[in-house]
Structure 1
Amino acid sequence: MTAVDFGDSIDVLERSIFQPLPSAWTWMCGGDSMAAVQRVALETTETTWTVVDRSFQLVEPVESFLEYGRQLDYRPNTTRAYAQSLAQWWSFLEDTDTLWNAVKLSDFGDFVASLRQRSQFDSIRQIKPQRLRSSNTVRLRVQVVMSFYSYQAACGVEAAPFLWQQGQRTSGRYLGFLDHISRRTPQKRATVRIRTTTKSLPLLSPLTIDALQAAEAHYEASRGEWVGDLRYRLLWALLAETGMRIGEALSLQHRDWNTSRGTQTATISIVSRPHPHGLAAKSGEREIHVGSRLDRLYADYVWWLCDAGADAVMIDWDSSYIFCNVKKPPLFAPMRPESVYAHLDLMKRQDLDLPAEATPHWFRHTHATALLLTGTPVHVVSRRLGHANVQTTMNTYGHVTESAELEALANWRAYVEGWERPNA
């Protein structure tokens, strides 16, 4: 571990196994290594990411941009994604001997081509070419690079001024009802734009969701108890009914689940707090109403944990995590998302009609689609998902209400009948 000084929030740069490895081209030709993402440990025990060049030196312009994002409370995973895109851009600059503040428009065209081809070396000829990157992936990588230059321009650095041009504002997919009276002032438009296509959302049918839950655990009335792993049945039911991200679900503590009392509907509070595995409430803090069936399942799960000995181990039940280890040590410690993904892969081997590409995030898409197909207003769906604005919801799910084919997927109206989804 080597001490470095590049900002008040970063104190220790860890190398060891995280040191970038030479590329295949370097190994064959003996050249320098490429710029790469570097994990950084903070004094607060949190983890963040930065970019180092081919000589393992900190890329200061990139670090200043990433530090700006940290000050705006960007999540570690977001910082890592930004760092990965900027590491590819810096590698491209190093390979072409181009200064970052002296780039030309043609450099961005070459960079886009290298992203699509998954290689920045024109000299390499692969026997079996790799599949091209999708336009959506390329667009996200380029957007990060353009944000980097936008930040530098705001700091007074004259670099890549051609990336934005003055133009009249154009309408998008969603406009406010008073937009027609707003002042039409020229706004900057991006010069480099990647055309993308709208892909169909990955969805799970209600029959598949029910079959998955039944395969995890079922209630035997003769024995008066649940048989199986009730933890995963609750997790899948929670994701399906609330549209939470997997990180939000695994971050829940027992004090966040407010069970129903009398006429009061049960709610779950999404709270931003440090997590042992670095998980965070990416979609922001909010309160989600849930139905009585899910609330009853949670109550059964609490007793199920007690039968497993959790009440004797958990000193502070309220601050203990709902989803915890029950089979492997450390017992009753918070689960890792990797464990959930691995378990879902095991369930795909059963006859449950689970697509091979399915991930826990599919439940979120399925939940939003189900609400929209049953006539729930877009602004209600947006607030339930935790989107920053309605535009985000419209961009992702705006085509759902326009496609009658999705209604044939299943009888969504009957499936979501027990869901509680008030305006809050």
Structure 2
Amino acid sequence: MRDMLIVRILFETGIRASELLNLAISDFNIGKKSILVRVSKTRAGENRTVYVTSDTINLFQDYIIEFHSSQTNIDHVFFNLSGKNKGEQMSYWGLQALIKRLNRKAEVDFTAHMFRHTCATQLNDKGISAVSLKNLLGHAHIQTTLQMYVHPSDETIRKHWEQAISHESKE
């Protein structure tokens, strides 16, 4: 359940791994289906709101009920479930180890950061404005978002080309 929640949040929001690990329970707004990213490696990324689906909010609630019992005295959403550091905030290296295990299980090679690129590309393909995408990803400059994080597929490029040609032929 924890691993699924981690993947869903990374995939749907495009937040950085370090931002994920710093999420507190109080950062989740269940009614608005949003998450406040308070801690970021960039000033532009701090105190921004990202959004998740109802399914992810439901999974978050189930996870909190299951793993954040009254015996757990930690506000961080993600913490070590076993080992010598059980109950402590999950570290970056702990997340990397989890991703490595998921790679083996899924027989797919991916990193936590790839979810950021995938999220940016999918939102761009669905027509989100460049400014909104920049703000969701927590970038200071729109060029970073568009040049580094958006990777349009051949289908998207063709669709945009066809739209441009159809406008031209109508004139």
Q: 1:244 is matched with which residue: 8, 11, 15?
A: 15
Bigger proportion of residues as strand: 1
In structure 2, the CA distance between the partners of 1:406 and 1:256, relative to structure 1 (3 Å rule), is same
Give, in whole Å, the separation in 2 of the partners of 1:397 and 1:362.
Answer: 10
2:96 maps to 341
Runs (4+) of structure 1 moved beyond 2 Å?
280-285, 346-350, 397-400, 403-408
Give, in whole Å, the separation in 2 of the partners of 1:311 and 1:298.
Answer: 17
Q: 1:360 is matched with which residue: 112, 118, 134?
A: 112
Tell me which amino acid in the other structure corresponds to 2:87: F
2:59 maps to 297
Q: 1:395 is matched with which residue: 133, 147, 150?
A: 147
1:143 maps to none
Matches within 5 A, 1:64-213: none
Bigger proportion of residues as helix: 2
Structure 2, gaps ≥5 residues long? 159-171
1:375 maps to 127
Q: Percent identity?
A: 29
2:162 maps to none
RCO higher in 1 or 2 (8 Å CA, sep ≥ 6)? 2
CA contact (8 A) 1:243 1:363 kept: yes
Shift of 1:393: 1.3
Shift of 1:285: 2.5
Matches within 5 A, 1:266-281: 266-272=33-39, 280-281=40-41
Shift of 1:348: 2.2
Shift of 1:296: 0.7
Confirm or deny that 1:285 pairs with 2:47: yes
In structure 2, the CA distance between the partners of 1:349 and 1:407, relative to structure 1 (3 Å rule), is farther
In structure 2, the CA distance between the partners of 1:389 and 1:293, relative to structure 1 (3 Å rule), is same
Higher Cα radius of gyration: 1
Matches within 5 A, 1:32-47: none
CA contact (8 A) 1:305 1:311 kept: no
Confirm or deny that 1:404 pairs with 2:162: no
Aligned residues: 156
Give, in whole Å, the separation in 2 of the partners of 1:398 and 1:313.
Answer: 39
Give, in whole Å, the separation in 2 of the partners of 1:398 and 1:303.
Answer: 36
Q: 1:326 is matched with which residue: 66, 73, 81?
A: 81
Shift of 1:337: 1.1
Tell me which amino acid in the other structure corresponds to 1:385: L
Shift of 1:281: 3.9
Cα-Cα RMSD: 2.1
2:70 maps to 311
Confirm or deny that 1:253 pairs with 2:24: yes
Tell me which amino acid in the other structure corresponds to 2:114: W
Give, in whole Å, the separation in 1 of the partners of 2:59 and 2:17.
Answer: 18
In structure 2, the CA distance between the partners of 1:299 and 1:247, relative to structure 1 (3 Å rule), is same
Give, in whole Å, the separation in 2 of the partners of 1:360 and 1:296.
Answer: 22
